[in-house]
Structure 1
Amino acid sequence: MKISDRLAALRLVLGGLLLFWLQLTLQLYRQIRDLGVIFSLTSQMWLLLFGLICLSGFGFALLLLTWTHHRRRMISLTSRFIQHLPAQKPVVIGLLLVLILAFSLFVLFPLGDFFNSAAFRWLLFGLIVTVVALLLRRTLPMANWLNILALALLIVGICYRVLQFLPDISLDPFSLNWSEASRYYYASLFFSEKIYGFAVPPSTLHPTRYWLQSLPFLLSTLPLWFHRAWQVFLWLACSLGAAWLLARRLKIASQTWLLLFLAWTFLFLWQGPVYYHLLVMVMLVLWGFDPRRFWRSLLIVALASA
């Protein structure tokens, strides 16, 4: 492993954490200013701000040291620390799951209401990513450090995104949002005669979505939580399916880059997010379009456009 790779990763981690820490410090200062808290050495808020400033200075000093002759020693100390981490993959995987689950539950569930500061959450996210990267490095000693950091970011991001669906798989008999009941009603219309005893034409609004959602109605005894879980599955499966089909079309040979690309594309689709029933058309084109086979491609495009 080149020194330059490890040095770049070290600077990136220290710089990122310092940025998040400064953001938290600035936010606390603004809160003190807006509340009109008078400066006092006995004020908890001012003492906390002073502590944050000191730690920010310490972090800045560490970052500056990476441009001095001490950088080799810093890299050596980091390597020694990593050697003391567990190397067994089951243990590492368990620790990764615990860390990411704890972060997600902390942010997403009621406890997160007490720490709704974006700066605090970004700092916590950065710390979790750093720990995950160190654990990954222990199990992948030959991997490039920057790839390790990218993988850690993607792992934490994907797990956080997936765990956000946990509240959606609920036993609550009432609607979880303003349109949930109508979604299931429109889906049920594909089997209206079986369910309601008379035929009702399906909705012309988002027919692909409601057809996909209607599949659990094939078994009339399935509970509400299963329908909710099925919709979560559709969100995840369609996003991952589109990412995989795009990766296959790009013919990414390296397994490492393939995994990174799949993870990044999965998260990229969630920026909107892109609704799963719209990804069906994307997947059709990615799967079946072939510029060398005109009629097949025409049929695929026609199906995707229907």
Structure 2
Amino acid sequence: MSRIAYVNGQYVRHAQAAVHVEDRGYQFADAVYEVWGVIDGELTDFEGHLKRLARSLKELQIRKPLSDAALTAILQRIVAVNRIRYGLIYLQISRGVARRDHVFPPDSVPPSIVITARSANANAAESRAQRGIAVITRPDQRWARRDIKTVSLLPNALAKQAARAEGAAECWMIDRDGMITEGAAANAWIITADGVLVTRAADHDILNGITRRIIFELAEKQGLATEERPFSRDEALRAREAFITSATSFLTPVVRIDSQPVGNGHPGSFSLMLRERYVATAKDRSKAPAMRQPVWLVARRSKHLQN
């Protein structure tokens, strides 16, 4: 079955999906995005991502192209027609298509919206979590408003590539004070030797991940002490456990930092427990009622998209 994308009001085959050459997202990175994880056909943490999308748009003064109800229906259909059981949904909204100029175009220019879907291997993801991942560290070279989920991700891409070159899965970035901010595509966490869960406070230095927020809730229910504060690479190496969180990795243990082991060099019990809790409660956190419809039913209603 061909993958289906949504581009500015039309459902099109993924291979033919395109935006205009003067789309400001392409020319200026003048755009925001969101990523939803999908578990058993359900968009996880739906409302949290929707609210963060609205905040990002407001911070960049990009108007919402659709109502929440309309966007929910489109996201539902994209999951359905692509028959995504486990994977991700990517949404991007730019300021729109206009003559290339640094200043914003008139308000009459409509924003551009693109939505794509991709399946993933649930067993492979779980196996990776059970093994744990390695991370490297690099200086943080990103702009000063990392709390806005923009598509300006070149420093992140360079950090990820550096990690790949060294056989690692993620890069933790370090600020001028020697403290870890977050990963190239995930929030960074440690569990101290005293059993305290630590991650950096959500200010302009990091993206306030939706999964990050859920982990705090789950930790509280499990009676784990938590702190929002910076931590250094050395403190991370002395920690009992470390892990990353994101919409697509959920919670994945970190077992090595710059080739040095964290704890005993294996995923820790707290990390694995929190991951299990996160996945187990994912459906309860889906706030898109239309997603409760069987995938085959919505796909049948939209079968003309695949002809």
Larger radius of gyration: 1
Q: Quick one: higher RCO (CA 8 Å, sep 6+), 1 or 2? A: 2
- TM bucket (normalised to shorter chain) is under 0.3
Normalised by the size of structure 1, how large is the TM-score?
0.22
Normalised by the size of structure 2, how large is the TM-score?
0.22
Bigger proportion of residues as strand: 2
